């Protein structure tokens, strides 16, 4: 069991410059090891955590040595434990996390343990960044209307979270309407350095949204994990991770006039995707850093999941300290942060000569080479320079169906469809923009691109340009601060004039919550098979995610979103074709409405002030009237309401006893689904609207829920019955068993019947059969969605055999007791001649001592074919979770055993 810390001799006191002390800290320089000076800054954070938490049980001195020797150990895929300083949840993942905590208390109670022992051991920040339905776009009171709508629909969810904030210690709940989770984290929650009971240590965070990485722009090590991993971290379990390689990314020069942070991030995303950084850290350095504002850094850090890195890290320097001051952090706090980081060799001082650090590989970018661009039409790393956009679009119409193709026959590429919009005649063509959204994820922390968009709107309005009334325009800042600086600059009115009213401060169009398109537009698209476009300033544009009716989705900077809304089409060459006709029928070009960097900088300088941040975040402690009026039950055990369609007690612990179930292989399983490459968590567990013909819709209708009140899958994550039915319910699902037909169906192999995936899975279960899934490369990429693992487990899936897995999703599968297996390099279902009509058996040793992480296993089918796979339990800890039937069961048994 745990012993005392072997590193207590390097515990030092940090003195205040004017007398007194800040507290104690574990000093890296006191180790007097020359290898530490060459370590990347991001690795030093892992090192400090391992030293501080070393107890020779969960964290051992040999783990500390592995990290110090990073240069030699990182190429070898060694495992280390990591204990983050805090955990960040947003409401969609916060609800299931609180449901699981409440359930664990019940299970603890039933098994005779003390249920009050179930509390987060690590501080948890839970931000309710409710996803807005942008159905009242283009109106002055959009925010208020959306908030009321949101509270009316999500009262149960919000009430449940409010109960949790009282029932559990160590949990801060940020009420709805405050901003999007990453932004609130950056402007308010990020500590940079913690001082807990006189112990100083760097802030680090794991969050249940893959874009938690935005905080890396602030020098706080943070990344996304699955909800299941986050729950384990909350409960004090060390996270097991492969000690990552670190790519050094050197920045030189400065951005040219008219080039935005978004152009930079799309360029960086494409470079890093090409370089290959999955599972690695990226650390930025070089003289270009001092030219990069903190908001620009946060924009690049935010996109880590899109380039595949665990994080894109910007060490703390003078720019970070300026931002802390700007966002209203106190002078004392900033002094403590700077003193600690300097004392522990974690601060970058560009005025001093830099010690060459060691990196696993290097990239370099001169900021002057970045040019305006957008990405699409279906993936974030498919960057298109703006000057090539028209040619690229026409090629996409021609190309066969794929990431860059729609296969529209030549003769119908120019067709114009006539329709009537509220009494006026209108036309729609391929490439016409029907959604233009400045969304809250990536850029709306960034005053330069936000005020840049407002300046584009101002120039356009003054020249007499308009946005066509059927384009669904919306503006969803990530923070209430944006509203304040828009008002101060006097520019909001121009955005309003073009239809970009503020609709709320949470996830909107980027996650499919734009609300419906006008019926006339929707039928013009569907009846004529038009490839309509959405342009948004988000970070994801996978098929079917933004809106079912926009088949082309482009990511662009906020000012470009406004420009494309005005142009009304993506089929335009901004250099040679006019955006539209202004007053007196004069042709207006892109260059006429585009602001210079200097114009933008002047507005930012005069409009963005520290008081705005302080005032915005006061609301967090005071709440808002709607939140404060929610009445919630007291009591530490939750009283489940059997009639609730939002909060339901899941069956995870129903059969649980004190002894672990042990390892189990797979016997004669049927293949539930047979997939190709790039199956995302959106395919596995969609977050968007609940389709009217789906099993989830059937369940809700049977319980008297009106179709209008279905809400989204995301908002019903507290109900396992809805979520199990929503598993593999994506309308764009491509399952090879269906021979080319697209949709959330599969074949029930014994009868050959075509059923919804849920119905087929339930039939297999009732007949006593297990199931497996076959897949290609990058299975489970996209958002870190715990339901993408919980859902398949409830459907009876016992194993997933894929070419490769996305990092977070693989660990989530393990946490839910599903076996992840990888085909051998060069092999997959196709090369092995598997159709998915076979039965599959996987033999696992019966004892956890006879199995090791990453070993080879044989998969045997009933038609005589057998093949070897790699078992993707990557650590001893993961084997223990599987032995216990899952991570939560492991934690409960450990808590009970440690108290007896």
By the 8 A CB rule, do 776 and 803 touch? yes
Q: Give the model's confidence band at 31: pLDDT under 50 very low, under 70 low, under 90 confident, else very high.
A: very high
Beta bridge partners of 284: 249
Of the candidate ranges 152-156, 572-576, 840-844, the one whose mean pLDDT is the lowest: 152-156
- 581 and 684: one domain? no
Residue 312 CA to residue 297 CA, distance in Å, equals 9
Sheet harboring 311-313: ordered strands across?
Answer: 311-313, 281-285, 246-252, 361-366
Ranges of beta strands (E only) in 445-579 are: 472-475, 532-536, 550-555
When pLDDT is averaged across residues 757-770 and rounded to a whole number, the result is 97
Residue tagged 């794991």 (tokens): 206
The CATH number of the domain where 866 resides is what?
3.20.19.10
Residue 39 has pLDDT above 90, yes or no: yes
- 427 and 468: one domain? yes
Q: Give the model's confidence band at 545: pLDDT under 50 very low, under 70 low, under 90 confident, else very high.
A: confident
pLDDT tens sequence across 85-112: 999 998 888 899 999 999 999 998 888 8
Q: How many residues does the chain have?
A: 900
686 found inside a domain: yes
Residue 900 has pLDDT above 60, yes or no: no
- 446 and 524: one domain? yes
Burial 518-548 (b: 16+ CB within 10 A, else e): eeebbebbeebebbbbbbbbbbbbbbbbbbb
pLDDT score of 149: 82
27 found inside a domain: no
Cα 846 versus chain centre, distance: 37
**Pairing mode, strands 193-196 and 771-774:** unpaired
Residue 374 has pLDDT above 60, yes or no: yes
- 806 and 824: one domain? yes
The range of the structural domain enclosing residue 509 comes to 407-608
- Our separate counts of H helices and E strands in the chain read 31, 34
**Pairing mode, strands 204-207 and 221-224:** parallel
- 647 and 541: one domain? no
- 653 and 699: one domain? no
- Give 132 or 537, the one with higher predicted confidence: 537
DSSP type of residue 176: T
**pLDDT over 70, % of the chain:** 98
Residue 842 has pLDDT above 70, yes or no: yes
Residue 343 has pLDDT above 60, yes or no: yes
Q: Give the model's confidence band at 895: pLDDT under 50 very low, under 70 low, under 90 confident, else very high.
A: confident
3-state secondary structure 501-528: CECCCCCCHHHCCCCCCCHHHHHHHHHH
- 804 and 745: one domain? yes
When pLDDT is averaged across residues 179-204 and rounded to a whole number, the result is 94
pLDDT score of 514: 83
Among 539, 564, 558, residue whose Cα is nearest residue 600: 558
CA distances from 69 to 54, 105, 241, 691, 734 (A): 17, 41, 16, 53, 45
Which tokens belong to 780?
A: 């489970």
pLDDT score of 431: 96
- 525 and 649: one domain? no
pLDDT score of 369: 97
Q: Give the model's confidence band at 319: pLDDT under 50 very low, under 70 low, under 90 confident, else very high.
A: very high
Of the candidate ranges 469-473, 506-510, 714-718, 850-854, the one whose mean pLDDT is the lowest: 506-510
792 found inside a domain: yes
Ranges of beta strands (E only) in 155-279 are: 171-174, 193-196, 199-202, 204-207, 221-224, 239-242, 246-252
CA distances from 820 to 674, 811, 854 (A): 15, 9, 10
Cβ-based neighbour number of residue 200 at 10 Å? 25
Residue 97 CA to residue 102 CA, distance in Å, equals 9
Residue 194 CA to residue 71 CA, distance in Å, equals 28
Burial 449-484 (b: 16+ CB within 10 A, else e): bbbbbbbbbbbbbebebbbbebbbbbbbbbbbbbbb
637 found inside a domain: yes
3-state secondary structure 605-622: HHHCCHHHHHHHHHHHHH
- Give 828 or 897, the one with higher predicted confidence: 828
485 found inside a domain: yes
When pLDDT is averaged across residues 578-585 and rounded to a whole number, the result is 94
Which tokens belong to 290?
A: 């001092």
State the Rg of the chain over Cα: 27
Number of domains the chain is built from: 3
Residue 1 has pLDDT above 80, yes or no: no
218 found inside a domain: yes
Cis (ω within 30 of 0) for the bond into 465?
no
Q: Across all residues in the chain, what is the average pLDDT? A: 92
CA distances from 21 to 24, 195, 341, 631, 821 (A): 8, 12, 15, 44, 53
Helix residue ranges per DSSP H, 767-806: 787-795
- 716 and 651: one domain? no
By the 8 A CB rule, do 128 and 158 touch? yes
133 found inside a domain: yes
Which tokens belong to 688?
A: 């968007």
811 found inside a domain: yes
- 721 and 644: one domain? no
Residue 241 has pLDDT above 80, yes or no: yes
By the 8 A CB rule, do 457 and 467 touch? no
The CATH number of the domain where 180 resides is what?
3.30.499.10
- 685 and 779: one domain? yes
pLDDT score of 331: 95
Among 170, 94, 165, 167, residue whose Cα is nearest residue 130: 94
User: Which H/E stretch holds residue 28?
Assistant: none
pLDDT score of 848: 82
Residue 136 has pLDDT above 80, yes or no: no
pLDDT score of 623: 81
Cα 216 versus chain centre, distance: 14
- 692 and 819: one domain? yes
């Amino acid at each position: 069991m745990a012993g005392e810390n072997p590193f207590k001799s390097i515990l030092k006191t940090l003195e205040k410059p004017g007398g007194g002390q800040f507290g104690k800290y574990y000093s890296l320089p006191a180790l007097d090891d020359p290898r530490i000076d060459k370590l990347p800054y991001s690795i030093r954070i892992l090192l400090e955590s391992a030293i501080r938490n070393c107890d020779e049980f969960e964290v051992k001195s040999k783990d500390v040595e592995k990290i110090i020797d990073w240069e030699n150990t990182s190429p070898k895929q060694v495992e280390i434990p990591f204990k983050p300083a805090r955990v960040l949840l947003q409401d969609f993942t916060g609800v299931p996390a609180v449901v699981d905590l409440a359930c664990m208390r019940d299970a603890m109670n039933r098994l005779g343990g003390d249920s009050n022992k179930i509390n987060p051991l690590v501080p948890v920040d839970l931000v309710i960044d409710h996803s807005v339905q942008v159905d009242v776009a283009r109106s002055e009171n959009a925010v208020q209307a959306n908030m009321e709508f949101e509270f009316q629909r999500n009262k149960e969810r919000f009430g449940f979270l409010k109960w949790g904030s009282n029932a559990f210690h160590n949990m801060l709940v940020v009420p709805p309407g405050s901003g999007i989770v990453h932004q609130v984290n950056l402007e308010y929650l990020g500590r940079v350095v913690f001082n807990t009971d006189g112990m100083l240590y760097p802030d680090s965070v794991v969050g249940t949204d893959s874009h938690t990485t935005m905080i890396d722009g602030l020098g706080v090590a943070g990344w996304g994990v699955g909800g299941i991993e986050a729950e384990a971290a909350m409960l004090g379990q060390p996270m097991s991770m492969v000690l990552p390689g670190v790519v050094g990314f050197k920045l030189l020069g400065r951005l040219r006039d008219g080039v935005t942070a978004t152009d930079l991030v799309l360029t960086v995303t494409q470079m890093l995707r090409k370089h290959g950084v999955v599972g690695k850290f990226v650390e930025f350095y070089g003289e270009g850093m001092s030219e990069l504002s903190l908001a620009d850094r946060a924009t690049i850090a935010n996109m880590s999941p899109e380039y595949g890195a665990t994080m894109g890290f910007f060490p703390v320097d003078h720019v970070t300290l300026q931002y802390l001051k700007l966002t209203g952090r106190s002078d004392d706090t900033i002094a403590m942060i700077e003193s600690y980081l300097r004392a522990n060799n974690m601060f970058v001082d560009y005025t001093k000569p830099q010690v060459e650090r060691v990196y696993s590989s290097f990239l370099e970018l001169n900021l002057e080479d970045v040019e305006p661009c957008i990405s699409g039409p279906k993936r974030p790393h498919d960057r298109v320079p703006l000057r090539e956009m028209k040619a690229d679009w026409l090629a996409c119409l021609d190309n066969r169906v794929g990431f860059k193709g729609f296969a529209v026959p030549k003769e119908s590429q120019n067709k114009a469809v006539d329709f009537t919009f509220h009494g006026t005649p209108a036309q729609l063509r391929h490439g016409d923009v029907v959604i233009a959204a400045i969304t809250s994820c990536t850029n709306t922390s960034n005053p330069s691109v936000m005020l840049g968009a407002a300046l584009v709107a101002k120039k356009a309005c003054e020249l007499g340009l308009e946005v066509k009334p059927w384009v669904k325009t919306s503006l969803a800042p990530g923070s209430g601060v944006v509203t304040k600086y828009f008002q101060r600059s006097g520019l909001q009115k121009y955005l309003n004039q073009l239809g970009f009213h503020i609709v709320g401060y949470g996830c909107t169009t980027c996650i499919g919550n734009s609300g419906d398109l006008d019926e006339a537009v929707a039928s013009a698209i569907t009846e004529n098979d038009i490839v309509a476009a959405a342009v948004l300033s988000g970070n994801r544009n996978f098929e079917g995610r933004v809106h079912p009716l926009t088949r082309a989705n482009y990511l662009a900077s906020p000012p470009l979103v406004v420009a494309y809304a005005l142009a009304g089409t993506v089929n335009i060459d901004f250099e040679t074709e006019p955006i539209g006709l202004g007053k007196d029928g004069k042709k207006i070009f892109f260059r006429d409405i585009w602001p210079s960097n200097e114009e933008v900088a002047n507005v930012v300088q005069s409009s963005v002030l520290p008081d705005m941040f302080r005032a915005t975040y006061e609301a967090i402690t005071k709440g808002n009237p709607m939140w404060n009026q929610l009445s919630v039950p007291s009591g530490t055990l939750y009283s489940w309401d059997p009639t609730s369609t939002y909060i339901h007690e899941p069956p995870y612990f129903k059969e649980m006893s004190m002894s672990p179930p042990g390892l189990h292989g797979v016997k004669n399983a049927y293949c539930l689904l047979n997939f190709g490459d790039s199956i995302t968590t959106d395919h596995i567990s969609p977050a968007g609207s609940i389709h009217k013909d789906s099993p989830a819709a059937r369940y809700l209708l049977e319980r008297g829920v009106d179709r209008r009140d279905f809400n989204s899958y995301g908002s019903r994550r507290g109900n396992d019955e809805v979520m199990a039915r929503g598993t593999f319910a994506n309308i764009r699902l491509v399952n090879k068993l269906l021979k080319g037909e697209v949709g959330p169906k599969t074949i029930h192999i014994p009868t050959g019947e075509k059923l919804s995936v849920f119905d087929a899975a339930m039939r297999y279960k009732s007949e006593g059969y297990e199931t497996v899934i076959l897949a290609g490369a990058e299975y489970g990429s996209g958002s870190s969605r715990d339901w993408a693992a919980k859902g398949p487990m409830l459907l009876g899936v016992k194993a997933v055999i894929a070419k490769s897995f996305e990092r977070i999703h693989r660990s989530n599968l393990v946490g839910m007791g599903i076996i992840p297996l990888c085909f051998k390099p060069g092999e997959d279902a196709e090369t092995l001649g598997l159709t998915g009509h076979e039965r599959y058996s996987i033999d696992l040793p019966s004892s956890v001592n006879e199995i090791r992480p990453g070993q080879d296993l044989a998969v045997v089918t009933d038609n005589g074919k057998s093949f070897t796979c790699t078992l993707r339990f990557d650590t001893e800890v993961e084997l223990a979770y599987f032995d216990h039937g899952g991570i939560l069961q492991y934690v409960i048994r450990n808590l009970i055993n440690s108290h007896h």
